[in-house]
Amino acid sequence: MRKGFYFNIKMSKEQATLHLSERVNQMAISQTIAMAQKARELTAQGKPIIKLSLGEPDFQTPDHIKAAAKQAIDDGHTFYTAVPGNLDLREAIANKLKRDNDLHWEAKNIVVSTGAKQSLANVFMALLNPGDEVVILAPYWVSYSEIVKLAEGTAVLVTGDIVNDFKVTPEQIEAAITPRTKAILYSSPSNPTGTVYSRTELEAFAEVVARHEHVFVVADEIYEYITFEDDYFSIGAVDAIRDRVITINGFSKGFAMTGWRVGYMAGPEWMAKACDKIQGQITSGTCSIAQKAAYTAISGDLTPTFEMKKAYQRRRDLVLGLCKEIEGVKTYMPQGAFYLFPDVSHYYGKSDGTQSIQDSDDLCLYLLSDAHVALVPGSAFGAPECIRISYAASDEELTEAMKRIKNSLAKLK
């Protein structure tokens, strides 16, 4: 076959699929990002879309953090940094982990990456062999299962019930562990439910993990600074399993820095070294300017972070109150993040006379076209009876969106 043959012809989707790796063909598209893209397209067509699809703070990055980035450019920090991140940033992260989380890692245990998403990808690339299992507490964030798949692992879902605030029990985790289990993965506060595991609940999980020496915990704490109770607890602080917990965190949520792309992992040195090695071949680490901004964020004044948290809490109460007024919708009390994940299955099997609703995908498409509100179907998070409302939006937008949702749902018979 002539060299370059494939690149000279126009390929159909089927041809492209034929030539792409199984790895990519097997991968689902991120539904959070796909819904956000669809909402942007409709907005560009002039539709009055209210976007409650993407899990992204609606606040600007605080000014003192922006100023640090400007200063970094003026000071000439325009070169590659150390692959695992600047030493001052890793030391500041180590201090924060000691202060807030009772985690005693040093700079050498920390790797800074292009967002917590890459930190997760590094960790699972480093940890998994083909067929290794990862127990994921569900409903789970869309990218968990795909990252595990990409690393040739198998995702094993353990699902919490809405009547129990979507919390998984230690018994469920125990029952899911097999000799192939490599890790347990969860986020607290959770994306998509906003559920926060308490100290007592995490200690009970740790007891299970302590009994299975081959099992690690990957604790995604990216929403840590958006919790509405005061007793945030990190499972890595339980002595019996300290050296088997890999903590993931980042700057996107608590500091409203999604676009800057800075996240990190903290864990045993051998794991940090492995992440460093992977990153050294794939990205050479994250942006030098963004790292300087992140240093200021983590070592500076947290007042803007607490102000944003207060706003999210007020919005949680607003959206939850309005949601409870909608017939047939089941709710619960989220304690953190900026998501509400109500059960809307009451509307499945109904129709507005034109569109018939069979599942969460149909319902989200219906609400997008009829109410002009963009949400994400629960199917993307392993809970097809639910939809995700991201309430990182203004009070006015939230009030209007909930009114439109209520009206559109009322048309379904």
Which H helix or E strand runs over 4?
Answer: none
- Out of 57, 62, 84, 115, the only residue in the binding site for ligand PMP (CB under 6 A) is 115
Least distance CB 411 / ligand PMP (angstroms) = 32
Which one of ligand GLU, ligand PMP, none interacts with residue 187, CB within 5 to 8 A by kind?
ligand PMP
Residues 39 and 400: their CA atoms lie apart, in Å, by: 16
254 contributes a contact to ligand PMP by CB under 6 A = no
222 contributes a contact to ligand PMP by CB under 6 A = yes
Which one of ligand PMP, ligand GLU, none interacts with residue 54, CB within 5 to 8 A by kind?
ligand GLU
Structure tokens at 295: 């240093």
Residues 133 and 127: their CA atoms lie apart, in Å, by: 10
CB-CB neighbours of 7 under 10 Å: 7
Please, which residues have CB within 8 angstroms of residue 346's CB and are 6 or more apart in sequence? 327, 328, 329, 330
Q: How many residues bind to ligand PMP according to rule CB under 6 A?
A: 13
Q: How many residues bind to ligand GLU according to rule CB under 6 A?
A: 11
Binding letters toward ligand PMP, positions 268-307, x by CB under 6 A: ----------------------------------------
Q: Determine the Cα angle at 387 with ends 386 and 390, to 5°.
A: 140
Residues 186 and 243: their CA atoms lie apart, in Å, by: 17
263 contributes a contact to ligand PMP by CB under 6 A = yes
Least distance CB 141 / ligand PMP (angstroms) = 4
Half-sphere exposure of residue 386: CA atoms within 13 angstroms, side-chain side = 27
- Measured CA distances, 128 to 9, 122, 292, 331 (Å): 38, 10, 32, 36
Binding letters toward ligand GLU, positions 161-200, x by CB under 6 A: ------------------------------x---------
Binding letters toward ligand GLU, positions 253-292, x by CB under 6 A: ----------------------------------------
Q: Determine the Cα angle at 244 with ends 192 and 91, to 5°.
A: 85
30 contributes a contact to ligand GLU by CB under 6 A = yes
Which one of ligand GLU, ligand PMP, none interacts with residue 58, CB within 5 to 8 A by kind?
none
116 contributes a contact to ligand PMP by CB under 6 A = yes
33 contributes a contact to ligand GLU by CB under 6 A = yes
Residues 44-63 interacting with ligand GLU (rule: CB under 6 A) = 54-56
Which one of ligand GLU, ligand PMP, none interacts with residue 71, CB within 5 to 8 A by kind?
none
Structure tokens at 268: 């045993």
From the list 268, 285, 287, the residue with the least C-alpha distance to 277 is: 285
By beta-carbon proximity to ligand GLU, the closer residue of 27 and 33 is 33
Least distance CB 257 / ligand GLU (angstroms) = 13
> Using an 8 Å Cβ cutoff, are 379 and 138 in contact?
no
CB-CB neighbours of 378 under 10 Å: 27
Tell me the window of 114-122, 174-182, 290-298, 366-374 that interacts with ligand PMP (CB under 6 A).
114-122
Least distance CB 375 / ligand GLU (angstroms) = 11
221 contributes a contact to ligand PMP by CB under 6 A = no
- Measured CA distances, 333 to 166, 193, 231 (Å): 10, 9, 16
- Out of 69, 110, 142, 274, the only residue in the binding site for ligand GLU (CB under 6 A) is 142
HEC states along 176-234?
A: HCCCCEEEEEEECCCCCCCCCCCHHHHHHHHHHHHHCCCCEEEEECCCCCCECCCCCCC
220 contributes a contact to ligand PMP by CB under 6 A = yes
Least distance CB 388 / ligand GLU (angstroms) = 8
Residues 177 and 134: their CA atoms lie apart, in Å, by: 9
Residues 323 and 405: their CA atoms lie apart, in Å, by: 9
Instruction: By CB under 6 A, name the binding residues for ligand GLU.
Output: 30, 32-33, 54-56, 117, 141-143, 191
Instruction: By CB under 6 A, name the binding residues for ligand PMP.
Output: 55, 115-117, 141, 187, 191, 220, 222, 250, 252, 258, 263
